[in-house]
Amino acid sequence: MARVAAAYPASAVVGACSLGAMGAGREVQDEPAVALVAAALPGARARAFRLGENEADLEAIAGAVVDPGSAPKGLVLLGDTWTCDADVLLPVLDEVFPGAVKVGGLVSAGSRRGATALFVGDKLYTDGLVGLALSGAITIETVVSQGCRPIGEPMLVTRSRGHIIDELGKRPPADVLRELFDASGERDRELLRTALFMAVERKKSVHYTPGETVVRNVVGLDPRSGSLALGAGVADWDVLQFVVRDADAAHRDWVTRLRAYAGASAARPAGALLFSCAARGKPLFGEASHDTRLLGEIVGPVPSAGLFCDGEIGPVGGASLLHGHTAVAAFFRGESGAPSQS
């Protein structure tokens, strides 16, 4: 990255080491690869920034991110899995920059704290977050595909303790799961054993809306009490839905959302960034380059690059959220006759 920064001294340069790379329609996992994207943004500005592990307060964020005289329209965020608490940081970013689109991911390729590599210009960091603030004549549009399908019916949390759910619909979660298992076919029974997750409704409503949820890991089940532990906090009267990760459903959802985006766009975007869960790609679909191939086939031959993540950042229901097992695409175009070029 130091050589890139030296070659383009007037550019804003950020990067990270991740669990895999994407570029030129290819995805590479479990072997060395580099993906590099460069963009000329007529009428727009890009500012590189860095937030340390403990810099999630309003003053630190505003000082690092704000380009004097221009509020950002978009933030590209690359965070360390071990030291960037996205669930704390993203609501603050939404408060400080409510009009900015936030995309990115947690990118640690290391198995321990301090093993992540994040870059701003020629400087290397091993904690916190780096990013780009984009302002001026630029438009950023997103596609978020969560890759799981519902199983059973949506339920209200009727008793909870932080990450622990004691009652769903006034029943122990273990009893609900047991009924789901007994009523399922063999394929769904296998997915319930090996690929079970929970979708959490992000609106404060008793109605479940597919696509306006965030998928969280199920991390434990207490057979004695029947309680269920999630990889994120919940509250009483949240709406939850058991979901399973399924390659066919993930494929259909990605295709549907890309087609909807392409059909609603007046012109092809100038470039794209893709942030995809490391559990997608070949481990899920059985083929390399699934997500990038379909992006090119459906949206068109758009210059694109990206990386595989431990958690993906993208907007749902008006809020910026950290997702799991998700693909987030960010499409860039110019404004007022000033097209971006990637």
For 193-244, write each residue's pLDDT tens digit: 988 999 888 655 444 455 567 888 898 999 899 999 998 888 899 899 999 9
Written as six digits, the tokens of 261 are: 């985006």
Show pLDDT as tens, one digit a residue, over the chain (342 residues). Answer: 777 778 777 788 999 999 899 998 899 998 889 998 888 888 898 999 999 887 767 777 777 777 666 789 999 999 999 999 998 899 989 988 998 999 999 997 777 887 889 999 989 999 999 999 999 999 999 999 987 889 999 999 999 999 999 999 999 999 999 999 999 999 999 999 988 999 888 655 444 455 567 888 898 999 899 999 998 888 899 899 999 988 998 999 999 999 999 999 878 899 999 999 998 999 899 998 999 999 999 999 999 999 999 999 999 888 899 988 899 999 999 875 444 444
Closest CA to 247 of 315, 178, 105, 145: 145
pLDDT at position 342, please?
Answer: 47
171-187 residues labelled b (16+ CB within 10 A) or e (exposed): ebbbebbeebeeebeee
Q: What is the pTM of this model?
A: 0.86
* Domain ranges within the chain, ordered by starting residue: 2-146+249-334, 148-245
Beta bridge partners of 240: 155, 200
Residue 206 is predicted with a pLDDT of: 44
pLDDT digits (tens, 9 = 90+) for 90-135: 998 998 899 899 999 999 777 788 788 999 998 999 999 999 999 9
How much is the pLDDT for 112? 81
Q: How far apart are CA 126 and CA 83, in angstroms?
A: 9
The whole-number pLDDT of residue 338 equals: 43
Structure tokens, 228: 């269920």
CB 103 within 8 A of CB 140: yes
Q: Helix/strand/coil (H, E, C) string of the chain?
A: CHHHHHHCCCCCCEEECCCEEEECCEEEECCCCCCCCCCECCCEEEEEEEECCCCCCHHHHHHHHCECCECCCEEEEEECCCCCCHHHHHHHHHHHCCCCEEEEEECCCCCCCCCCCEEECCEEECCCEEEEEEEECEEEEEEEECCEEECCCCEEEEEEECCEEEEECCECHHHHHHHHHHHCCHHHHHHHHHCEEEEEECCCCCCCCCCCEEEEEEEEECCCCCCEEECCCCCCCCEEEEEEECHHHHHHHHHHHHHHHHHHCCCCCCEEEEEEECCCHHHHHCCCCHHHHHHHHHHCCCCEEEEEECEEEEEECCEEEEECCCEEEEEEEEECCECCEC
* pLDDT score recorded for residue 210: 52
